[in-house]
A and B are shown apart, each in its own frame.
Chain A
């Protein structure tokens, strides 16, 4: 099944740490734009499919939850980092295909400012805790609910993943079993250079 990929790149960057490197940033942004368009077309996206989501190019809806380690999980606290926000569930097979890569990316890119956050849409937290330990997830996971799902436009099918830039703007949305290679390329372009 082709993943339905709906994504756009922000046309205007908010002021930030890259201001002193305007040209490289502009080039990276242009490259990311091309990548996102290519990914959309490669996924067989029609115009509607590629522009359907209303959240891309908008500020990521803020939320505060308590994660599985009983710590406060405030999306706003990750401003300045690139956030990969993943909605998943233990009954979702495609989610479990993706999650080991998210663990790898957190290890690989965490020092450059990547933060993966998981939101489980399970009904039973016990199953989530079991998976959390078995897959050795190295990023915070909190239980979702209807309110949080609605905040993100209604999460009606999994997996759904959002790529949020350092300014809190959603740069891409991936629905269904996404192309992990493309997500990795896209998040790399949002991370600051070495």
Chain B
């Protein structure tokens, strides 16, 4: 992976957000209104994967299938998720990032991983940026992020793509 995180102002803002998240780990019940942009500006365009492309991958056979991790709301995951995916903790919460770290600890750094959320419109998602950065910083080199412009309902379920429900 050839990008750096400190070369653009928007990325610097993202890093500042990460620092704030770390500080807030000490006060989990505190709430900061999220009225600014989301975290997805941390993710390079080259690391995005489109829904159609992922469906194609999942329908295939062999070793090309990724490890699919949902890094958003657990409740929304229980309502509907992509078959075979695993809930890995909310990327916007320190506890969620710890859960993600534990989940991938035993995998090779070259493991093909796809992160997704779909909680909110893409540019407002608070979870994907921190989750992607977490894996990048841990040395994972084959991580993609599923691009959903609106949310899981509109960009995946309504299109008739495969869905699994926990309840």
Contacts and interface: CB of A to CB of B under 8 A. Distances in A.
A185 B83 CA distance: 41
Interface stretch (A9-17, A108-116, A155-163): A155-163
A156 B151 contact: yes
Interface stretch (A74-82, A92-100, A164-172): A92-100
Interface string B85-105: 000001010000000000000
Contact of A157 (B34, B78, B118, B126): B118
B52 interface: no
A131 B149 CA distance: 27
A149 interface: yes
A52 B29 CA distance: 38
Given A97-B35, A177-B121, A91 B126 contact: yes
Interface residues of B, number: 39
Nearest to B36: A93
A172 B50 CA distance: 30
Contacts of B158: 52
A93 B152 contact: no
Contacts of B166: 146
B120 interface: yes
Given A146-B166, A154-B80, A4 B154 contact: yes
A121 B151 contact: no
A157 B116 CA distance: 13
B164 interface: no
A105 B150 CA distance: 26
Nearest to A153: B153
A123 B73 contact: yes
Nearest to B75: A121
Interface of B: 28-31, 33-38, 72-76, 78-80, 90, 92, 118-124, 126-127, 149-154, 157-158, 166-167
Interface of A: 1, 4, 52, 89-94, 96-97, 121-123, 126-127, 129-131, 134-135, 144-147, 149-150, 154-159, 175-177
Given A123-B73, A150-B167, 9 more contacts: A89-B73, A90-B34, A121-B75, A131-B31, A155-B79, A156-B76, A156-B80, A157-B76, A175-B151
